[in-house]
A and B are shown apart, each in its own frame.
Chain A
Amino acid sequence: MVITGTSKGIGRHLAESYAGEGYLVEGCSRRKADFQLPGYTHHELDVANERQVKAMISNVSRRHGRIDVLINNAAVASMNHVLLTPADASNRMLEVNVTGTMMFCRDAAKVMIRRRYGRIVNFTTIVAPIALAGEAVYAASKAAVVTFTRILAHEVGQWGITCNSFGATPIMTDMIRSVPQDKIDAVVKGLAIKRLGSLADCKNVCDFFINPKSDNITGQVVYLGGIT
Chain B
Amino acid sequence: MQKEVALDVVLSCLRNAMEQFGNGQEGAVGTDTVIVGQSAVLDSIGLVSLIVDIEQRLEADHGIAVTLASEKAMSQRSSPFRTCGVLAEHVCSIIAEEQTA
Complex Cα–Cα for A97 and B96 (A): 32
Question: Does A114 reach chain B (CB closer than 8 Å)?
Answer: yes
Given A54-B67, A113-B52, A158-B45 contact (CB < 8 Å): yes
Residue of B nearest to A50 (CB): B67
Interface band, chain A: 10 to 19
**Given A110-B52, A113-B52, A54:B45 Cβ within 8 A:** no
Chain A 35-55 near chain B by CB (<8 Å), digits 1 or 0: 000000000000000000011
CB of A108, distance to nearest CB on chain B (Å)? 12
A61 near B: Cβ within 8 Å? yes
Give the interface size bracket for B toward A.
under 10
Tell me whether B55 and A110 are in contact (CB under 8 A).
yes
Q: Mark B50-75, 1 if CB is under 8 A from A, else 0.
A: 00100110010000010100000000
List B residues at the A interface (Cβ < 8 Å).
45, 49, 52, 55-56, 59, 65, 67
Q: Is the interface of A mostly helix, strand, loop or mixed?
A: helix
Residues on B with beta carbons closer than 8 Å to the beta carbon of A110: 52, 55-56
> Which residues of A come within 8 Å of B, CB atoms?
54-55, 58, 61-62, 110-111, 113-114, 158
**CA distance in complex: A111, B56 (Å):** 8
On whether the beta carbons of B45 and A61 are closer than 8 Å, the reply is no
| Cα(A158)–Cα(B49), bound, Å | 11
Contact B56 A114 (CB under 8 A): yes
Give the nearest-CB partner of B65 in chain A. Answer: A58
Q: Which 5 A-B pairs have the closest CB atoms?
A: A58-B65, A110-B52, A113-B52, A114-B56, A58-B59
Complex-state Cα separation, A61 to B55, whole angstroms: 13
Contact partners of A111 in chain B: CB under 8 A:
56
